[in-house]
Every structure is written in C-alpha cells, then in structure tokens.
Structure 1
Amino acid sequence: MSDAPGAPASAMGSGRELANPPSDGISNLRFSNHSDHLLVSSWDKTVRLYDAEANVLKGEFAHPGPVLDCCFHDDSSGFSAGADHTVRRLAFTSSKEDVLGRHDAPVRCVEYSYAAGQVITGSWDKTIKCWDPRGVSGPERTLVGTYAQPERVYSMSLVGNRLVVATAGRHVSIYDLRNMSQPEQKRESSLKYQTRCVRCFPNGTGYALSSVEGRVSMEFFDLSESAQSKKYAFKCHRKSESGRDTVYPVNAIAFHPIYGTFATGGHDGFVNVWDGTNKKRLYQYSKYASSIASLSFSKDGHLLAVASSYGYEEGEKPHEPDAIFIRGVNEVEVKPKPKALAAPQ
C-alpha cells in the first residue's frame, strides 16, 4: 500500500474553517464521544471547546505554559497535559479548573479510560501515571499508580482495557488497565525511525503506528503466527521529483468509528484515507496550507476535524496561520470497497 495514483482527490476544498482558532501550534484536537463538541489544545497555552457543527467557541482555559494534549471526560469537561508538568481537570460549564496531578517533566499525552474510570498520562519524565478524577484535588489523593517507561512518552492510545504506549527509542509497551504492574507485551517498532503517533484499531485487535520517515505500520495484539503474519508497513506522505524522494513525517492518524478505515496527516499538508484491510488508499483531500498536526472523526464519522498547523519540523521559518477545518465526510471517501470492485494492484 502506498500513495498510488488513481485514488481520487477531493474537489471540495479544505472544508469549513473554525472561527477563533489558536494563535500558536495546535498540539491536538478531539471530538467528543457524545456530540459534535471539539476539544483543542495548543502551544498558545490554551484549551478551547468548540461546537464544530455550529462553528461556535463555547469556552476556553488559559494555562501557565504550552498545552501538549487534551481529552474529554464528558461532553463539557476534560483533561489537559501541560508543558508546565501538570495534569489539569477542566469543567467548561462552570469555568472551573484544578490541578489533578504532576509529573517531573512536561506531560505529553493524556487519555481518559471509560472502562477503568481513570485518567492516564504519559510524560517526558519516562513514566505513565494513572489518576482517579473522582478524588479531591491534589496528587496524594488522586494518583493511582506510577509506571516507569524505557524512554520519554511520545504517543498513547486506548481501546477497551488496552493501553498502547509509544516512546522515544522506538519502544512500544502494551498494558491491560486491569493489571498495570507489568506490560502485557514489550515491543520494538517495526519502523526504523522515531515514532510520531500511535492509534488503536476501533475493533480492538491492534494498532497503527506512524514515524517521521513517511511510513505507517499495522500491528496486531495477538501473538499467534497467523495473526502476526497479517502485520505490514507501507509508505505514505512522500513526493517523487526528478527521481528523488522527499519524505515527510506522518503526524496524525484517526480511525473512522463506523468503517474502521483511517486517515493520516503529514507534514506535506495532505490528508489521505486508507482501507487497511484491503491495503488501498481510498481518498486524498486537497492540500492544506500547512503541516497536518492532528485529525479526529466525529462520533458518527460524518465530520473530520483537521488541524493545519506548522510543527517546526524545518525550524523557524515563515508559515501560514494555524487553522482548524471541519470537513463533511462522504461515504465514498471512507467506506471500504468490496474486493471484487477494488482497483487492481
């Protein structure tokens, strides 16, 4: 599977641009599991809550430092991961926030597990921590456990009771949230270069992992020979000119909640949609003005949020303003094609 010609390109433009976007690099965006609310974290030290369908900014929290990640708790509250080493609990309806806990270095990732009722955070201090958000504010009362990692945490993803943690050094640890004493599995990324993003398959059978060198690998939890024989990696977000390949980091992966197909976003400004089962690219959207920093499908898959935001992959240079686009998703863009109708390889 690769960026093969023949996968159609969208003629619909970038989508509808959200008003009041962050003023500095967008670190993450996520749709709610309950509505079209969108949570956005940014290097401009804010977490914003939008009604994406109505294009309305519903609330905003300012933090002491850059915000590196965010996730929902319910439809109007969530959690943030800060470069100031804090994990914060945010209630937009009451405009109240408090510090849930702290790490010893910037907090890169935050996830809320509905299965465990816990907040899980990953930090550059080489630990993941689990927190009980029902506790009274303060680390002594909310911290459930601290778990050492082989390196700095770069990306995390949850599905059911499974947690996948990707760190520097190409390490991948797979945990069962019901028993965090040791990882279920310890792996090394099958990609040769630094991990950029990990996202679990919606059906719970595995995960997709992307790297800085324009590749994505599809991995499976089941260690049986038959299951492991299904894993593969493919090239994407590359450009070939005059016989020379330019390779771009794959910054973002988002799975469609209904069809299990997935979108990837790269430093090249493109968003591609893939059918991982049939190893086909289904769609490529029109090029965005800047690097794709994050992607998220809405709960029913009818919207795709795209963060077009320069990630300083090439250092300090003039770049387009940060923007968030909301695309209406057509079935033809994300629904797998029957094998008999798929284009020949």
Structure 2
Amino acid sequence: MATTLANAPADLISKVQFTPAAGSNHLLVSSWDTTLRVYNAGSGPGSGHLLTSVKFQAPLLDCTWEKKGSSPSPIAFAGGLESRVYQVDLETSQKTIIGPDHQAAVKSIVYHEGTQTVISGSWDRSLHQTDPRTDRSISTSLPGKVFSMDSVDNYLVVAMSGREVRIYDIRSIQEPVQIRESSLKYPTRTVRCMPDGMGYVSTSIEGRVAVEFFDPSPQVQAQKYAFKCHRIVDRLAGIDTVTPVNSLSFHPKYGTFFTAGSDSTVCLWDYKAKKRLKQYQPLAHSVMSIDVNFDGTKLAIGTSDDSYKEAPLINGPQPAASSIYIRDLADSECRGRD
C-alpha cells in the first residue's frame, strides 16, 4: 500500500532521496520547477506533508544529503542548470555556493562521508571535489559529459557520454584507478554502487541493466552480465516498446535492488540469483526517481509526465503534475532467493 505526499512538484522530478540516518524519514526532492523540497515521509502524526522548500534560479538536476555519523543532518547539496553547487541549510533555507562554477549544467552530486567532500559532475566534462568546510576544490577533466555518479567506501563511479565509465579513489581523484567501456550499448541513465562495495549497477535509456564488479581479475569480470527490462510488450501487435530505466536503488539489508522506468513500473531484482522478485502495479506516469530509506522499510517513488519526449510542449498538451508515493516494504518482500 502506498501513500501520496501532498504538494508534489509541478514539473519533472529529478531526484528523491531519504536522509541517510536512522530515526528519520525526511525525503529530499529536487525538480525542474527550480525548487528543492523536504517532506516528512514517515508513518506517524504529521507525516506525508511538505516541511520546507527552497527556490533556485534554474531547474535542479540532482541533490543529496550531507552524512555525518548516525544523526540526521539539516544540510543538503543541490545543483543543476545554474552550473554551480549549493550547500543548503534546510532549517534556515540559507543557500551557499561551494566550489568553483562549472561551465555547463551540474548533472550529478555525491557527498563522501570519509573525506567530508562534495563531488560534482557536469556536462562540461569535469569533476569538482570541494570541501565545504574550507571551500577548497580539486578539479579533474573528463573525456565525456557526466550522466551519473555514485560512491561506496572510497570508490567513485562516473558514467559519461561515449559509453565510458571511470572509477576513482575519492582520496585522489586526479587520475582514475580504472577506465572501462560500459556494458550497455546506449547512454547510461543512472549508476548505483552495491552496498557491499563489490561493484555497481548501471541502467540505460534502452531498457537494460548491467551488473558490474570492481575487481579487474578475469575470474570476477566473467561474472558481470546485463539484462533487459521495463519494456511495454503488445503481444497481439508483436510490438516491444523500449523505455528508459530511469532510476535504481539498493535495499540496505539484503542488497536486492529496485529499478524504475518510463513504462510507469517499479521492479525488484535479486542480482545474485539473476531473478526478478516482483513487478509492482503500474502508476499513472513514468517513474523518474526512487529511493529506499535507511532501514529498508520504505520506498519513495517520484513520477512525472515525460510525454514531452514524444509530443513537444509547444505542440502537445500541458504535462500532468508530478507525484510522490511512499510504499511500506515488508522484510520478506525484499529478501533475495536462497
């Protein structure tokens, strides 16, 4: 059963993310309507409502929480078409620019707890790693536009245009420790690292998911694989419509993961058993972003009307408003197959 949050963005949702700390179900949401929002996505009194919103000058393409120990932080980071990264105090709504501006949109932002730094990846083919405490930054040039990034332990995975993937040690991002070609034939939509630190999973605009591992040894690399999903099949007409896999989120306890696509569905996978565990009922619009909370008991689902891809706004109808759903997750629901 899913509940719907009030006061969802009117425009496309770019990211939903639960606070990465126990005891809090605050949900951070960035969108193309230039607003960063925080909701109480818990189950108790006062839940389901907007807590605060902060306006910017241009659409936001990504956001992330600060993480310091086990306590929730009121600090978040956001960026987008302004080509800069902001530190946002969500208690006061104060915004502070951190690090140097990029020369194009900021597409992805990662906060690394170990170094307490913020890494931003841009369409200008660069990374900036900034310490918000001192505002000191290190910049690294890339061969392609950044499409998605994620980190685990000291690994930073950067997926770019041209199907290139670079893996960095966050403690020294001047040079990558590995350079790879994506296993996916078409552009990457999102990349997420496995909670156990063994590898990462990426998705593409062509309805595929790839499971990859960090260890470069031939024995481990032989275990990588890809599969297709989030396709709309019309068996009578014999038509297989491919849709982008827009988002992915791991369950923190079991390591199974959820995927979300423009076919308006969410699926749950056991990548070790190479099995789909569940496909949830389709929603009204494309699922743009999903996230599992800290203890694995809730799934946030952000949906938006992305029909503009087929009918441009100047010709097509006004897009429908976005929605945010919170689904309770049973422990048995998310456990992989033995």
Q: Is the TM value for this pair above 0.5?
A: yes
Instruction: Map 1:97-246 to 2 at 5 A.
Output: 97-101=95-99, 102-135=101-134, 142-241=135-234, 242-246=237-241
Alpha-carbon displacement from aligned partner over 1:306-330 (angstroms, at most 9, x marks no partner): 0011234324344432000000012
Displacement after TM superposition at 1:226 (Å): 1.3
6, 22, 28: which one pairs with 1:39? 28
List, as ranges, runs of 4+ consecutive aligned residues in structure 1 with deviation greater than 6 Å: none
Number of equivalenced pairs:
319
Displacement after TM superposition at 1:143 (Å): 3.6
- Does 1:77 find its partner at 2:75? yes
- Alpha carbons of structure 1 residues 23 and 126: separation in structure 2 relative to 1, 3 Å: same
**Matches of 1:22 and 1:321, distance apart in 2:** 7
Alpha-carbon displacement from aligned partner over 1:242-289 (angstroms, at most 9, x marks no partner): 322111110001101111000000000000000000011011111011
Q: TM-score, normalised by structure 1?
A: 0.90
**Matches of 2:309 and 2:226, distance apart in 1:** 23
- Does 1:96 find its partner at 2:94? yes
- Does 1:256 find its partner at 2:255? no
Structure 1: unaligned runs, 5 residues or longer: 1-11, 136-141, 339-345
Q: TM-score, normalised by structure 2?
A: 0.92
**Matches of 2:107 and 2:219, distance apart in 1:** 35
Displacement after TM superposition at 1:57 (Å): 1.4
Amino acid at match of 2:196: N
Q: Percent identity?
A: 44
66, 84, 87: which one pairs with 1:86? 84
Indicate if the aligned counterparts of 1:289 and 1:320 stay in contact, CA closer than 8 A: no
Amino acid at match of 2:228: K
Match of 1:23, SS state, is coil
Amino acid at match of 2:293: S
Displacement after TM superposition at 1:178 (Å): 1.5
Amino acid at match of 2:265: F
Indicate if the aligned counterparts of 1:116 and 1:161 stay in contact, CA closer than 8 A: no
Which residue of structure 1 aligns with residue 310 of structure 2?
A: 314
Displacement after TM superposition at 1:100 (Å): 1.1
Instruction: Name the structure, 1 or 2, with higher relative contact order (CA <8 Å, separation 6+).
Output: 1
- Does 1:50 find its partner at 2:39? yes
Displacement after TM superposition at 1:56 (Å): 2.3
**Matches of 2:276 and 2:176, distance apart in 1:** 33
RMSD: 1.2
**Matches of 1:313 and 1:301, distance apart in 2:** 33
**Matches of 2:171 and 2:284, distance apart in 1:** 43
Displacement after TM superposition at 1:332 (Å): 3.2
Match of 2:180, SS state, is strand
**Matches of 1:92 and 1:240, distance apart in 2:** 43
Structure 2: unaligned runs, 5 residues or longer: 68-72
13, 18, 33: which one pairs with 1:26? 13
Displacement after TM superposition at 1:148 (Å): 0.7
**Matches of 2:48 and 2:118, distance apart in 1:** 29
**Matches of 1:128 and 1:70, distance apart in 2:** 16
